[in-house]
Amino acid sequence: MTAAQDRGREFEADWGDLIGEKPVRGSGNQWFAKLDIRGGQFLWSLKHTDKASITIRAEDIEEARAAVQGPHGVGLNTMYGMALSIQGYRCVLLPDTTFLTMVEEEVKFITPSKSRRKRTLADMTQLERRALAEEV
């Protein structure tokens, strides 16, 4: 494996940690492995480069769309997205309808990992924790 491939695998692991999921086994080299990471209501295609730019083709977006909405896609309430890492800058590419749904509605698309929930609670005051407990 080259150093660039290693950094791509690191990005997969980091993105998985961020959303509380593990990379799909065999992604990128097995026909049945759907994209790179499945987490919450998303199926993610990840792209990494150490160069100053990255090329995203229509066929890259179609691959992600087909993995969810195609004839053999996962379907259901799953949405697709692309996570990009360009020289350390991380961005997300989503269909406009998915973005609008996220902005307009209060929908939880990703369930935070247990460690992230613990860190969030640890950063809260007792008063904030009580208010949170009353909401539930």
In terms of C-beta density within 10 A (0-12 exposed, 13-18 middle, 19 or more buried), how is residue 80 classed? buried
Q: Which of 20-24, 70-74, 114-118, 132-136 has the highest mean pLDDT?
A: 70-74
Residue with tokens 């961020």: 18
**Domain 3-135 in this protein, CATH class:** alpha beta
pLDDT tens-digit readout, 59-110:
999 999 998 888 888 877 888 999 999 998 999 999 999 888 888 886 666 6
Query: Which pLDDT belongs to residue 29?
Result: 55
Domain boundaries, the chain: 3-135
Backbone angles phi, psi at 45, to 5 degrees: -105, 125
Query: Which pLDDT belongs to residue 93?
Result: 95
Joined together, the tokens standing for residue 26 give 């065999």
- State the CB neighbour count (10 A cutoff) for residue 53: 7
Residue type, 79: M
pLDDT tens-digit readout, 9-30:
899 888 888 887 777 776 655 5
Pairing of strands 79-86, 42-49: parallel
